[in-house]
Amino acid sequence: MAYKIAQLKISELRRDAERKLGNNFDIKAFHRVVLEDGAVPLTVLERKVKRWVAQQL
């Protein structure tokens, strides 16, 4: 169940990043941000991804 919840959250974060960044969205960079620290709480991951998106704008 935890795997599925994480999958749904990562998908949500990706959709949000794609929407905000448009053509500047880089899937490789997104995956790097998601995976670079290994297993982290979803709240930490969400902050990291949102910070990354803001830096790309």
C-beta separation of 42 from 6 below 8 A: yes
Domain ranges, residue 45 = 2-56
Identify the pLDDT of residue 46: 98
33 residue type, one letter? V
Q: Which tokens in the block code for residue 11?
A: 């998908």
pLDDT digit string, tens, across residues 22-56: 999 999 999 999 999 999 999 999 999 999 999 99
Mean predicted confidence (pLDDT) in 9-15: 98
Alpha carbons 18 and 39: distance in angstroms, whole number = 23
Mean predicted confidence (pLDDT) in 4-28: 97
Identify the pLDDT of residue 15: 98
Type and span of the H or E element at 27: helix 27-35
Give how many domains the chain has, as a whole number. Answer: 1
